[in-house]
Amino acid sequence: MAIIVDKSTRLVVQNLTGREGSFHALRNRAYGTQVVAGAAPGHGGEDVEGIPVFNTVREAVAETGANAAATFVPARFAADALYEAIDAGLETIVCITEGIPVHEMLRLHRYARTHEVTLIGPNCPGVISPGKANVGIIPAEIFAQGSVGLVSRSGTLTYQIGYELAQLGLGNTTVIGIGGDAIVGSSFIDILGRFEIDPETEIVVMVGEIGGDEEEKAARFVAEQMTKPVFAYIAGFTAPPGKTMGHAGAIISGSSGTAQAKKEALEACGIEVGTTPTEVAQLVYERTRR
């Protein structure tokens, strides 16, 4: 079993006719994802290598039975595209777009929750359930199917740890990049809760980074509500205070939000924390051999 996306996912790609949308949609389809439609205003009736394009997401859903969207719409139009996807009745939306204003995401976060839509991102690499479906920009070839759930704020670290696990003969049920912005559609807690009830996920890896307190909240959730072992890696031990490092959400002030503070909070809740991606993978490997 997988979470978020699987073989039943029927994907509509917003801005399929754009360069990024078409490139990654075709890669997703080549992997085995059911990419059933594209949506691009003014391009209805066209197709991209056999994938039909509709003017609206609602039309795409009505004609193809799409139940998920991948959003590759430029930042200045992305909020409207997300509202459109939510209003079309989709179950899952994966927003790759970077640069959506925080005030827009605050409203979108509440709107998605009100409509019971799973929103992943923005500013994320997407979601892959190895062997089943890939939605977004994740390089599928480095991941293997297995029993480890992986959730991360960082795209490249997601790839690195997934690769390290595969090299040790381990694989993933689902890999989710939740995004590195200050406001994202799904939190660590949202995803950890899903992994906890997924019968095929036996171990979970959480990849955090400096800034905010989402990792600390997740640590408390793990201690209070999870029975499965959770391992973690925190990026940013060498980041200077007061600096934004890579992601909009990766800013620290004083001792709050530092990598060391997060590591201590996680370990206090029984979560083993690796100091490098390789060490995290090795910790997971050792746990599977007990």
Spatial separation of the C-alpha atoms in residues 249 and 243, rounded to whole Å: 11
- φ/ψ (deg, to 5) at 41: -55, 130
Does position 8 have pLDDT exceeding 70, yes or no? yes
Is there a domain that residue 125 lies in?
Answer: no
The token duo for 43 is 């391009």
Give a yes or no: residue 2 inside a domain: no
For residue 61, what pLDDT is reported? 98
**Domain identity same for 106 and 69:** yes
In a domain, 3, yes or no: no
Cα 248–Cα 191–Cα 137 angle in degrees, nearest 5: 60
Whether residues 148 and 283 share a domain: the answer is yes
Q: What is the DSSP string of 222-283?
A: HHHH--S-EEEEEE-TTPPTT-B-SSTT-B-BTTBT-HHHHHHHHHHTT-EEESSHHHHHHH
Is the pLDDT confidence value at 255 over 80?
no
More confident site: 240 or 181: 181
In this structure, the answer to whether residues 227 and 192 fall within a common structural domain is yes
The answer to whether position 237 is within a domain reads yes
Q: Which residue has the tokens 């990049």?
A: 177
pLDDT in tens, 58-77: 999 999 999 999 999 999 99
- H helix runs in the chain, sequence order: 19-31, 57-64, 75-87, 102-114, 155-167, 188-197, 214-225, 259-268, 277-288
Query: The domain spanning residue 96 has which CATH number?
Result: 3.40.50.720
Cα–Cα distance for residue pair 147/195, rounded to 1 Å: 10
From CA 23, how far away is CA 44, in angstroms rounded? 19
State both tokens at 183: 């406001």
pLDDT tens across 73-129, in order?
Answer: 999 999 999 999 999 999 999 999 999 999 999 999 999 999 999 999 999 999 999
Q: Is residue 135 part of a domain?
A: no
Per DSSP, 140 falls in state: G
What would the mean pLDDT of 263-289 be, rounded to a whole number? 95
Let me know whether 22 and 98 are in one domain.
yes
For residues 290 and 112, the model is more confident at 112
Boundary (domain end) residue, out of 120, 151, 181? 120
Q: How many domains does the chain have?
A: 2
Residue 208 burial (CB < 10 Å; 0-12/13-18/19+)? buried
Instruction: Identify whether the C-beta of residue 177 lies closer than 8 Å to the C-beta of residue 154.
Output: yes
Q: Look up the CATH number of the domain holding residue 244.
A: 3.40.50.261
Write down the pLDDT at residue 242: 56
153 and 95 both lie in a single domain? no
16 and 108: one domain? yes
Q: Are residues 165 and 213 in the same domain?
A: yes
Q: From the candidates 24, 43, 115, 247, give the one annotated as an active-site residue.
A: 247
pLDDT tens-place string over residues 213-222: 899 999 999 9
Residue 221 falls within a domain, yes or no?
yes
* Residue 109: active-site member: no
Asked if residue 70 is part of any domain, the answer here is yes
Q: Are residues 87 and 165 in the same domain?
A: no
Average pLDDT value for the chain: 93
Examine the domain organization and report whether 45 and 104 are in the same domain: yes
**R_g of the chain, CA atoms, integer Å:** 18
For residues 194 and 263, membership in a common domain is answered with yes
Q: Which of 91, 96, 93 is nearest to 23 (CA)?
A: 96
**147-170 pLDDT tens trace:** 999 999 988 999 999 999 999 999
Can you give the pLDDT at residue 151? 98
Residue 31, domain extent: 10-120
| Same domain, yes or no: 106 and 148 | no
d(CA 127, CA 31): 13
The whole-number pLDDT of residue 253 equals: 47
Q: Are residues 155 and 232 in the same domain?
A: yes
Q: What is the pLDDT of residue 10?
A: 98
In a domain, 196, yes or no: yes
Evaluate if residue 234 carries a pLDDT over 50. yes
